[in-house]
Structure 1
C-alpha cells in the first residue's frame, strides 16, 4: 500500500535536500517563536485566575 505524499511535502523535502543551510534557519525560527522555557508557577497562576465564561455572553439576566 502506497502512502500519499502531497506535492507541497515533496517540494519541501527536495528543497531541504538542496539547501541544507536552511535547517539552521529553521531551528532559529522555531527557537524564536515556539521553544520557550516553561514556568509552572506562572501557568498555575494563569489557570487559577481564569474567569468562567457565561453560556450566552449578551444575556444580562444571568
Structure 2
C-alpha cells in the first residue's frame, strides 16, 4: 500500500492543473474570490436586540408546506 501511495503522491488531475495555470495567469483571481466570499459570508455580528427581533418576526412554517389547508 505504501508503494502505491508513493507512486501517486505527485499526481495532479487535469482539473487541478487547469486551476493552478489559471491562477498563475491571473493572480488577481484569488483576491476576487476573497472579496466575493466576504460579500456573502462575512457579516457583522447582530446585537441581542436584533437577534430577538428577528426571532420574533419569523413566521412559523407548517410541517408539510405543499399541503393546502382545507
For normalisation by structure 1, the TM-score amounts to 0.51
Post-superposition CA distance 1:5-61 (Å, at most 9, x none): 76544422331233222222222222233322121432332123223222344113x
Alignment gaps of 5+ in structure 2: none
* TM, length-normalised to structure 2: 0.48
CA RMSD after TM alignment: 3.0
- The structure richer in helix per residue is 2
Aligned length: 60
Distance 1:22 1:50, change over 3 A: same
Q: Whose relative contact order is higher, 1 or 2, with alpha carbons under 8 Å and at least 6 apart?
A: 1
